[in-house]
Structure 1
Amino acid sequence: MKKNLLSFGFLFLNLFCPGFSQTYLISNVNILSMENEQVLNNHSIFVVDGKIQKIAPMTEPFASNLNHVIEGNGSYVYPGLAEFHSHIPVAQNGDTQLQEEAMWMYLANGVLRVRGMIGHASHLPLKVKIDAGELDGPRLLLSGPSFSGSSVSSPEQAEQMVRDEQAAGYDHLKLHPGLEMDEFLAISKTAKELGIPFGGHVSLDVGLEASLRGGYKSIEHMDGYIEAMIPDYSRVLDSKIAGPFTMLLVNEADLSKLPALVDLTLETKAWIAPTFTLFDRYFGSKPAEEYRNIPEMKYMSAEQVQSWINAKTPYEQSGVLTKEHVKPYLEFRNMLFMTLHKAGVPVLMTSDSPQVFNVPGFSIHHEIELMSKAGMSNFEILKSGSVNPARYFDQEDEWGLIIAGASADFVLVENNPLEDLNTLKKSYMVVMKGEIYDRSELKKQLDKIEGNHKR
């Protein structure tokens, strides 16, 4: 596949013979390996056949006949970001345009790994083509079609659905609301038997405690915690009283119950996926119409943007999304997040894109801003998008770190992300499995997507 390998930004590339993407040296860079908070200053990265073969100080000479050299000129290299709660577009009648556009938007924003969380059969060939190098895109880890009150009809059918998804090649199971306890237990038992991880929303008839003890690996949106702290659970069950995600009852939460919930989360080794930007935008007090023309919306179709506006407007019209309701709810979520995080519950970087006003790739930077505002350190934020996603799937030595032997998946930026998170918004170079995407190529692809959706 042809890549644009001309000079870009402050980087200089020497091209002397074919096969550049197979073997090359990136010199004079500062490396955040993510093994710890140390920055390896003035180092080089030697890439061979899509793998990092060696990392060494600039003072250590490489072979004198090495012709393929990228001069990093003091840039910072980190392992890239994750979108670990994505709703990957569906290919309609074989049309993969929206899927391919989403993949480019992720790459252009330094997102090198994506966990699909609402599966479709068209996602499997997309993953195969990316893995084979036939399409450009981040590393995909896919959940199958979701288990919910509308897709599950009995414990027996739920068990078969687990078996079918595992056999089809999905990496994960996604649970949505509406499951009965016996259905959930059938899913849990079968998934454990087959060794496929699962997680998602917490069904009201199941509850957080049973979900955690039943084997949820990830609690999406930090769902279930507020509900588990409401003394009168019957109020939770009434959607008119509770509101979306129980936001209208947040002031009734009994915080004395939180320590036990944190301990249970640690005991069961569950992960949390906060999706801050979803709640900030979908359930925030900013009017839906104000999102119509924000910069990244130019990469989405007018119909998609309108559908997002239509999704939020009823909540506005019903009076749910007033500042009086939204402010304490979002503050509570920040407190809950930091309590879980400080206790040692591992965090996954998630923004739920493309979902209401969250454009693929771009929304990750909104998520990062909100994680930072909640109180998370820059290093821990980067960890949630690199080391943690790999560890979640027991692939820590394969990607998510910049170490010898790992896949050559990393991003070059101008400044040190440990000091300046905004630098993550401007990737000068993206490397995915050794393939190089320079800034001009990424811009070219974004311009093409914008042109596809001219208003």
Structure 2
Amino acid sequence: MVKRLLMASIVPALLGSAVAAAPPVSAPPVAHGLAVTGADIVTLSGGAILRNFTILVADGRIVRVGPASRIRPPAGYRIIDARGETLLPGLVYMHVHLANTAGADGDAAQRALAVMLSYGVTTVRSMAGGVNHIALRDAVERGRIPGPRIYAASPALHDGNTTTPQQAIAAVDRARTAGFDLIKSHNLPDLVVWQAVQDEARKVGLPVAGHVTNEVGLSRALAAGEEVEHLDSALAELLPPGSRVGYEQVPPPAILQQLDQIGDAALTALAARVKAAGSVQDPTLAIFERLADMDTPVGVLSARPTMRYVPPAVLRQWADQHRQFAAEGGLSGVDADRLVRIRRRIVAAYHKAGVPIMAGSDTAQSFQVWGDGMIAEIEALARAGLGAEAALRAATIVPRNYLRGLVNGGSSLHWKADFGAIEVGARADLILVKGSPLENLAVLREPDWVIAGGRPYDRATLVALRDRAAADAAASAPAAPPPDPAVPAAQAPAANGDVASAEAIIAALYAVISGKAGEKRNWDRFRSLFYPGARMIAIHRDAQGQARARIMTPDDYIARSQPLLYKMGFFERETRSRRETFGDLIFVQSDYESRHQPNDALAFSSGTNSIHLLFDGTRWWIITVAWS
């Protein structure tokens, strides 16, 4: 059973570095004078539409809004004839993952920003922090690259890099000094460590957003004011206390069956608690619904038009992950429907109770990409019971209000959260579309114009951004190992769950070499666990009884072991583990037993694996394995 479903912090590291055939599309300058004339404005208030209005923009701000009959654009203003089209605020994407790159021509982060902008996303919150995201944020603000305004989360804090209160305090302080806008809390099951993160973040004025483990529980997160992603721990809150352990975001079938029997009264009570706490929620419905879709063939998913923005190697990785989840997740079609249904019911109850809901889709992963994934999330929220208008508010006004309620507007640069509405004084973040999104949300996928902070992008430019991103993705290749191992490239795509924690990568190591006689091992999966240049060391005694070390690369190990492992049944499992941390290096002493069949009463071999691991800020790597 997959314990934790969304480990997207690894995904950006796998998006590769592109070799662009030509420079990407440049960002236009901020318009000194811009008039959008004759537009129908969606007010996002009670379904009201202001017909035939004109909006004047100067130096990145909306300076006037009114009926077209009463406003004449000043001389020298650029005119956008919007008659018969609909104008609405730019979209605010509250959960996305960007590669840890600085936005060089054609790199993975630049590609993602360009695609998002082409779908009308004008503000984004990056939830997989990297050291380069501060420079990336600056590059967008200066107009060096086209893209939405970025609110940058810190590198994720989890049980692989934050295991003591002291480490928690130090990590929060480093994030504050570096200029990140918020703390990303990931898998922090230790209550003392989790609380230390909350306390220190509050002390230095940084908000906390992210995961909530079942060990921590929703009640503590609500009390602390953490902004909750993925509806984390909400499912557990609906169950008796004894049923809340052993899983995280995707419960096993027996628990899903229990959840399917939960009555409306329990959901109403949960929603009332969340509302009373003043909590803001980012459900990320669409990505769970994509993952739960076991019926659509991988080939169909891979052929979707938006997959052209994804490098071929990553598409293959996603296909493997999809098959792995189907095989190991233990979810039948009925179970998947139950998962989708309970999540939608929770969102509907939250909405009915007045809980603020924001839109974020946790892309890019699992055949859902930036931009289009945002529209998919808006559509999923609408289906869950919000309807089109409230779903659009979740992508505009609600995140604006959330940020306004934070210290410094949720920005280390003290930005005012002045987007999300078409009103005088607001930042000029606007989308112009054909048709009404209140009637058909799909029209958001093909905007005619996007204005981001006063920078106007017409349809031809938006198409060029997409085409350039597709070309860069097609030309991308795994990055060569740099001299500094801060952001290495995998020799083979790594499965999301395999490299998300120290425990996961060790479990994957044992799993991939184990199998029945005649069963081929997945050696690409095996290779993906190892850092470039990693070594495997077998300690043995020669004919004279002298201890020797056979030093191998992973490929050497495959060449030596593959015939034997294929011939005989071989199952190796960990029996005990000890771990010590030294800075960025973790040493794991992993005792093991080997059997020919998994249920054999006696092991034919036992020993210990001495494993050195590195966490680079986005994923785990095996540096060395030595065994005897």
What's the TM-score, normalizing by structure 2?
A: 0.66
CA distance in 2 between partners of 1:282 and 1:142 (Å): 26
Partner of 1:228: 237
Letter in 1 for 2:287: L
Partner of 1:285: 294
Partner of 1:12: none
Letter in 2 for 1:221: H
**2:359 matched to 1:349?**
yes
Alignment of 1:96-135 (within 5 A): 97-135=107-145
Deviation at 1:321, TM superposition (A): 3.1
Alignment of 1:299-378 (within 5 A): 299-318=309-328, 320-378=330-388
Q: Once structures 1 and 2 are overlaid, which stretch shifts more, 287-296 or 439-448?
A: 287-296
Distance 1:398 1:277, change over 3 A: same
Q: Once structures 1 and 2 are overlaid, which stretch shifts more, 88-97 or 276-285?
A: 88-97
Preserved contact between residue 379 and residue 388 of structure 2 (Cα < 8 Å): no
Deviation string 1:330-368 (CA, Å, 9 cap, x unpaired) is: 111111110011100001111111122111101122222
1:441 to 458, 461, 469: 461
Preserved contact between residue 45 and residue 56 of structure 1 (Cα < 8 Å): yes
CA distance in 1 between partners of 2:176 and 2:150 (Å): 16
SS of equivalent residue, structure 1 residue 83: strand
Deviation at 1:422, TM superposition (A): 1.8
Partner of 1:415: 435
Preserved contact between residue 213 and residue 232 of structure 2 (Cα < 8 Å): no
Distance 1:178 1:246, change over 3 A: farther
Preserved contact between residue 291 and residue 366 of structure 2 (Cα < 8 Å): yes
Preserved contact between residue 54 and residue 71 of structure 2 (Cα < 8 Å): no
Deviation string 1:27-59 (CA, Å, 9 cap, x unpaired) is: 111112445532111111111111111111111
Preserved contact between residue 238 and residue 267 of structure 2 (Cα < 8 Å): yes
Q: Once structures 1 and 2 are overlaid, which stretch shifts more, 327-336 or 67-76?
A: 67-76
Partner of 1:264: 273
Partner of 1:244: 250
Alignment of 1:26-45 (within 5 A): 26-34=36-44, 37-45=47-55
CA distance in 1 between partners of 2:468 and 2:73 (Å): 40
Distance 1:49 1:227, change over 3 A: same
Distance 1:399 1:94, change over 3 A: closer
Letter in 2 for 1:434: G
Higher relative contact order structure (alpha carbons within 8 Å, sequence separation ≥ 6): 1
SS of equivalent residue, structure 2 residue 364: coil
CA distance in 2 between partners of 1:96 and 1:452 (Å): 6
Deviation at 1:67, TM superposition (A): 4.8
CA distance in 2 between partners of 1:354 and 1:397 (Å): 25
Preserved contact between residue 306 and residue 369 of structure 2 (Cα < 8 Å): yes
Deviation string 1:65-103 (CA, Å, 9 cap, x unpaired) is: 355322112211000222211111122897861111101
Preserved contact between residue 409 and residue 432 of structure 1 (Cα < 8 Å): yes
CA distance in 2 between partners of 1:159 and 1:20 (Å): 40
Alignment of 1:172-251 (within 5 A): 172-216=182-226, 218-233=227-242, 235-239=243-247, 244-245=250-251, 248-251=254-257
Partner of 2:451: 431
SS of equivalent residue, structure 1 residue 69: strand
CA distance in 1 between partners of 2:198 and 2:107 (Å): 35
1:153 to 140, 148, 163: 163
Deviation string 1:169-208 (CA, Å, 9 cap, x unpaired) is: 1111111124300011111111112221112111222111
**2:421 matched to 1:401?**
yes
Letter in 2 for 1:249: I
Distance 1:95 1:162, change over 3 A: farther
Deviation at 1:292, TM superposition (A): 1.6
Percent identity over the alignment is 26
Distance 1:66 1:85, change over 3 A: same
CA distance in 2 between partners of 1:339 and 1:273 (Å): 14
Q: Once structures 1 and 2 are overlaid, which stretch shifts more, 47-56 or 363-372?
A: 363-372
Q: Structure 1 regions of 5+ residues with no counterpart? A: 6-18
Deviation string 1:399-444 (CA, Å, 9 cap, x unpaired) is: 1111011111100001121222121111000001111111111111
Alignment of 1:49-68 (within 5 A): 49-62=59-72, 65-68=75-78
1:274 to 249, 258, 283: 283
Preserved contact between residue 243 and residue 320 of structure 1 (Cα < 8 Å): no
Deviation at 1:270, TM superposition (A): 1.0
SS of equivalent residue, structure 1 residue 336: helix
Structure with the bigger percentage of strand:
2
Deviation string 1:125-174 (CA, Å, 9 cap, x unpaired) is: 00011111111100111110111111212011101211111221111111
Deviation at 1:264, TM superposition (A): 2.2
Number of residue pairs matched by the alignment: 438
CA distance in 1 between partners of 2:103 and 2:438 (Å): 44
SS of equivalent residue, structure 1 residue 377: helix
**2:390 matched to 1:380?**
yes
Preserved contact between residue 80 and residue 112 of structure 1 (Cα < 8 Å): yes
Distance 1:46 1:370, change over 3 A: same
Q: What is the root-mean-square deviation in Å for CA atoms of aligned residues?
A: 2.4
SS of equivalent residue, structure 1 residue 65: coil
Deviation string 1:373-392 (CA, Å, 9 cap, x unpaired) is: 22212110110011111111
Preserved contact between residue 277 and residue 363 of structure 1 (Cα < 8 Å): yes
Deviation at 1:248, TM superposition (A): 4.9
Q: Once structures 1 and 2 are overlaid, which stretch shifts more, 361-370 or 435-444?
A: 361-370
CA distance in 2 between partners of 1:360 and 1:344 (Å): 28
Distance 1:25 1:154, change over 3 A: same
Deviation at 1:237, TM superposition (A): 2.3
Q: Once structures 1 and 2 are overlaid, which stretch shifts more, 313-322 or 373-382?
A: 313-322
Q: Once structures 1 and 2 are overlaid, which stretch shifts more, 56-65 or 357-366?
A: 56-65
SS of equivalent residue, structure 1 residue 328: helix
